[in-house]
A = this chain, B = another copy of it.
């Protein structure tokens, strides 16, 4: 799994407007998500966990009550890889139905 070039990274991130890029640890992307409550947040985390396990690519994440902060990077690539972009896309898709359940 190769680290993305600057051009590849910029093209990829253009399709992921909710994610913030940071040059830390060779390059990572992160997104903060908010849910209606803990049950919704953890239901979402369970979906992400199953996908992570299946694809053997795991997030770094923090949760407190209805908030989930996720960071993606590829250890083996020492930075951002295609796998991070793919997982970010899946996370965006999994999150979408939960936004309809949010108490705003």
Contact = CB atoms under 8 A, between A and B. Distances in A.
> How many chain copies?
2
Interface string A46-70: 1001001100001111111100000
Interface residues of A, number: 16
Contact of A65 (B38, B42, B46, B58): B58
Interface in A11-53: 38-39, 42, 45-46, 49, 52-53
B61 A62 contact: yes
A38 B64 CA distance: 19
Nearest to A62: B62
Interface of A: 38-39, 42, 45-46, 49, 52-53, 58-65
